[in-house]
């Protein structure tokens, strides 16, 4: 089922940070869109099926940032 999930990521300070997060999360299975608001750190992920918290955490870790909410 198509799902939209919003998380908050700390530590992103520039457009390259945003690109890294988008790339890692975008590589998760079934992800169709990743929208990042740099100012707030809010990241909205649209996917064909629900993602687990662990998948998101690992992807954000991989990019070098942290999920705070």
Site for ligand 9UX, rule CB under 6 A: 13-14, 16-17
Which of 14, 69 has the CB closer to ligand 9UX? 14
In terms of CB distance, is 46 or 66 closer to ligand 9UX?
66
C-alpha span between 16 and 53 (Å, rounded): 24
CB of 45 to ligand 9UX, least distance (A): 20
Shorter beta-carbon distance to ligand 9UX: residue 21 or 31: 21
């Amino acid at each position: 089922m198509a799902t939209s999930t919003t998380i908050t990521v700390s530590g992103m300070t520039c457009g390259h940070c945003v690109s890294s997060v988008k790339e890692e999360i975008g590589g998760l299975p079934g992800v169709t869109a990743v929208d990042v608001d740099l100012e707030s750190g809010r990241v909205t992920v649209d996917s064909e099926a629900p993602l687990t918290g662990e998948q998101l955490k690992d992807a954000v870790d991989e990019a070098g940032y942290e999920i705070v909410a």
